[in-house]
Amino acid sequence: MALEALYDEYARYYDLLYSFKNYQQEVIEVQSIIDKYRTSTGIDLLEVGCGTGQHLKYYKEHYTCTGVDLNAGMLAIAREQLPDVPFYEQDMVQLNLNQQFDVISSLFSSIGYVANQHDLVTTFAAMAAHLKTGGVLVIEPWLTPSGFTPGFIHMTTYESEDVKIARMGLSEARGNTCLLDMHYLVAEKGKGVTTWVDRNELTMYEISELVEMLESVGLQVHVEELGFTKRGLIVGIKK
Ligand SMILES: C[S@@+](CC[C@H](N)C(=O)[O-])C[C@H]1O[C@@H](n2cnc3c(N)ncnc32)[C@H](O)[C@@H]1O
């Protein structure tokens, strides 16, 4: 299933499935890293692959925020939750907002969906062009090929009185592409039980490869450890 269809169907359940994530704490941690490197003085922030806007909910306490995502379903929820934030439906590979930002962040591995290295370098170049001098780009990458466990089985569940969700999957690799078939089973009061399978394809890079790509578009790069994710955080500074 195409990515857009995947997230359209998924959008209604996304925040429920990820209700275990502490977005507020993530923003606090990311903000301390932003503060460590940023030398531009403005407060304009762009979130790329913003999904339903969960990080923006907390970013907006400190920054003037804008969100971009490819998926209309995810953006519909983001707009409903954050009516005062401008959201744009764009492919990050062709990011084009005619504005520059002090901070661009792309969290929870959204860049993993960019299909190949050529498109990812194009994405990084577009992000760099949208940064002010002294601004910072913060990227939470997807899994690395060396950190990937083929055949890994995962399950996420959510349960309330009105809706119960189980999502299971098994990770396989084809070269550097991680193939993730997500099997959904959703029971909703008054609507019955639905099941579907969605294929996610995410491209894996070693951190050193991502650093090289970011340097190739003119950014000064630092790699940071983070509390909330083993995936770390890559920071690009526009000098
Ligand atoms: C795992 S979700 C992360 C969403 C959000 N950042 C969060 O932390 O909850 C990945 C998001 O990336 C978006 N996405 C995938 N490919 C994209 C692209 N090429 N351009 C813009 N957004 C994209 C998806 O629509 C989805 O909302």
pLDDT in tens, 55-94: 999 999 999 999 999 999 999 999 999 999 999 999 999 9
Q: Is the domain of 113 the same as that of 150?
A: no
The mean of the pLDDT values for the chain is 94
* CATH number, domain with residue 172: 2.20.130.10
107 shares a domain with 85:
yes
194 and 223: one domain? no
Q: Distance, CA 69 to ligand 1 centroid (Å)?
A: 6
Q: Using the mean position of ligand 1's atoms as its centre, give its distance from the Cα of residue 204 in Å.
A: 16
User: Could you say which residues of the chain have pLDDT below 70?
Assistant: 1-9, 227
CA of 47 to the centre of ligand 1 (A): 10
Q: Which of 46, 43, 37 is nearest to 223 (CA)?
A: 37
CATH assignment at residue 39: 3.40.50.150
Same domain, 151 and 232: no
Q: Which domain holds residue 63?
A: 3-144+205-237
Residue 74 sits in the same domain as residue 119: yes
Structure confidence at residue 230 (pLDDT): 76
Q: Give residue for tokens 């998924």.
A: 10
| CA dihedral of 143, 146, 148, 149, whole degrees rounded to 10 | -170
Q: Is the CB of 119 under 6 A from ligand 1?
A: no
Same domain, 27 and 40: yes
Task: Looking at the structure, tell me whether residues 120 and 165 fall in a common domain.
Answer: no
- Which atom from ligand 1 is nearest to the alpha carbon of 93? 19
Q: How far is the CA of 30 from the centre of ligand 1 (A)?
A: 18
Residue 170 and residue 100 share a domain: no
The total number of structural domains in the chain stands at 2
Q: Nearest Cα to 234, choosing from 136, 120, 113?
A: 136
Q: Are residues 9 and 54 in the same domain?
A: yes
Whole-number Å distance between alpha carbons of 236 and 130? 12
Q: Supply the pLDDT for residue 12.
A: 86
- The pick from 16, 55, 106, 113 for probing ligand 1's pocket by mutation, whose C-beta has the most ligand atoms within 8 angstroms, reads 113
Residue 106 and residue 57 share a domain: yes
Longest dimension (CA), the chain: 56
